Amino acid sequence: MNEAPAQRRLLVVDPCDDCYRLLPGLRAVGWDVDSCTLENAADKTCDVGLLRLQPFHLERPEAVKELISRSGTEWIAVLNQEVLRLQNVGDFVCEWFFDFHTLPFDVSRVQVTLGRAFGMARLRGKGTVHVDQPEHELLGDSKPIRELRRLLSKLAPTESPVLIRGESGTGKELVARTLHRQSQRHSKPFVAINCGAIPEHLIQSELFGHEKGAFTGAHQRKVGRIEAANGGTLFLDEIGDLPLELQANLLRFLQEKHIEHVGGSQPIPVDVRVLAATHVDLEAAIEKKRFREDLYYRLNVLQVVTAPLRERHGDLSMLANHFSHFYSHETGRRPRSFSDDALIAMGKHDWPGNVRELANRVRRGLVLAEGRQIEARDLGLISHHTVVAPMGTLEDYKTRAERQALCDVLNRHSDNLSIAAKVLGISRPTFYRLLHKHQIR
């Protein structure tokens, strides 16, 4: 026995008399219709939205933008001739709405448009990530990110120092914040210090604080970053850039659990958990006498390694969609999905700047995109049509093609591996065997 199809939910916002006359016919063809004012629309859920666009909406468009962005679905604008004549209404409708209808309604056309909007909303929803809780910020379902989340859940409850290693842009500070948030110190301060960003002549004062009159310009007593983190977590980013003299002072603090202000002589007890991060080879820096070996062993009690984006197969589309939604508020544009060409170009790119580079490219793509989707050129990436593969043996070509096919299908269907296997025309066990063969996921 076939199941009855689920009802499609339509929300009509600020309806007019023509809208009300339309509703019985829509209910008759299977739409579950609700209506409300714009002020109350945030409390409603729907599969497709219909908004009677009026002049006051265009005078305060932020409310409409917020509704459309938060709903995560497609909206259709309803306009009369008066609104059509308003300045910039065309740009606003094209940017934020799936389609529009002018009054009076052509009922058959409205039904077709609603059906298309429903289908597009379902497509747009695949791979979209909405992050409501901070615990979900380590996004992705690839093997490296799953293992990272599992490791952090084990390390977070301890008090031991953690050294976080990885390439620039792989989310080392995010790892540190996750460790703090999942620790017993979560209600206390989290203080982050970029050791490479503070001028060398100021770094001792920034870290340890100073007394009034300690040096020229010290007009008042200052609490340093270490003391400000008391009871919580101190995150030392780019620890490899810390000058040798400050390394000695930091080591003394880690051993004795107290500090002294610059220009002061009174020891100040400080209780912090220390997390440190670096993208440089600290072992090589020790060999070159640029980093203290005793400090290294104090910091490297537990270790976390963040994976580069190129090794996080299947996470690209999820992250890209997340950044599309995240930066849409900043750019004032509607979140956009990515064309097939853009997804393929992203899959072929090496991402030397990792997740930070992806965020910046998506941000750029949102600004430059002219259509309803972000294209490869909007991201500053080369279209796959222009990429020429290097020559090799026939077996090389087969292996490369097999791996690329797996990566491409994961970029589009990481949320459903059964569909991914079906797209490739293979069974699910074969799909898993190939993932294992190529060490993906």
At 63, give phi and psi (nearest 5°). -65, -40
**pTM for the full model?**
0.65
Average pLDDT over every residue of 159-165: 96
* Token code pair at residue 98: 């799936």
- Rounded to whole angstroms, the maximal C-alpha distance in the chain is 85
Q: What is the pLDDT of residues 416-439, one digit of tens each?
A: 788 888 888 888 888 888 887 887
Average pLDDT over every residue of 247-262: 90
* Residues whose CB falls within 8 Å of the CB of residue 264, separated by 6 or more in sequence, listed in order: 210, 211, 214
The count of other CB atoms within 10 Å of the CB of residue 118 is 19
Listed residue (223, 224, 225) closest to 191, CA to CA: 225
DSSP letter for 38, please: G
- Residue 386: pLDDT band by 50, 70, 90 thresholds? low
* 17-31, 109-123, 270-284, 367-381: least confident range: 109-123
* Token code pair at residue 347: 């899959």
Residue 221: which H helix or E strand, with range? none
Q: In percent, how much of the chain has pLDDT > 90? A: 40
| Confidence at residue 391, expressed as pLDDT on a 0 to 100 scale | 60
The count of other CB atoms within 10 Å of the CB of residue 310 is 15
The Cα–Cα gap between 51 and 54 comes to 9
Q: What is the CA radius of gyration of the chain?
A: 28
Query: What is the per-residue DSSP string for 56-100?
Result: HHHHSHHHHHHHHHHHTSEEEEEE-HHHHTSTTHHHHHHHH-SEE
234: helix, strand or coil? strand
Looking up tokens 């990515």, which residue turns up?
A: 338
Residue 163: which H helix or E strand, with range? strand 162-165
DSSP letter for 300, please: -
The Cα–Cα gap between 439 and 441 comes to 7
Question: Hey, where are the domains in the chain?
Answer: 8-125, 143-306, 311-437
136: helix, strand or coil? helix
**23, pLDDT greater than 50:** yes
* 53-57, 107-111, 136-140: least confident range: 136-140
CATH of domain 311-437: 1.10.8.60
Domains 143-306 and 311-437 share a fold: no
How many angstroms separate the Cα of 49 from the Cα of each of 260, 298, 431?
62, 58, 39
Looking up tokens 């597009």, which residue turns up?
A: 120
DSSP letter for 426, please: -
Higher pLDDT, 217 or 38: 38
Is 435:441 a contact under the CB 8 Å cutoff?
yes
Q: What is the pLDDT of residues 327-366, one digit of tens each?
A: 887 777 888 889 888 988 998 899 999 999 999 999 999 9
Q: What is the pLDDT of residues 177-196, one digit of tens each?
A: 999 999 999 999 999 999 88
- Residue 390: pLDDT band by 50, 70, 90 thresholds? low
370, exposed or middle or buried, with CB in 10 Å at 0-12, 13-18, 19+?
exposed
- Residue 265: pLDDT band by 50, 70, 90 thresholds? confident
**133, pLDDT greater than 50:** no
Whole-number average pLDDT of the chain: 86
How many angstroms separate the Cα of 305 from the Cα of each of 4, 60, 202, 276, 439?
49, 47, 30, 12, 18
Q: Classify each residue of 379-409 as buried b or exposed e, where b means 16 or more C-beta atoms within 10 Å of its C-beta.
A: bebeebeeeeeeeeeeeeeeeeeebeebbbb
The Cα–Cα gap between 272 and 283 comes to 25
277: helix, strand or coil? strand
Listed residue (225, 233, 238) closest to 158, CA to CA: 233
Average pLDDT over every residue of 99-124: 84
Q: Which fold has domain 8-125?
A: Rossmann fold (3.40.50)
| Confidence at residue 217, expressed as pLDDT on a 0 to 100 scale | 67
Looking up tokens 């070996």, which residue turns up?
A: 293
425, exposed or middle or buried, with CB in 10 Å at 0-12, 13-18, 19+?
exposed
Is 283:240 a contact under the CB 8 Å cutoff?
no
* Token code pair at residue 365: 């793509």
> What would be the CATH architecture of the domain defined by 143-306?
3-Layer(aba) Sandwich (3.40)
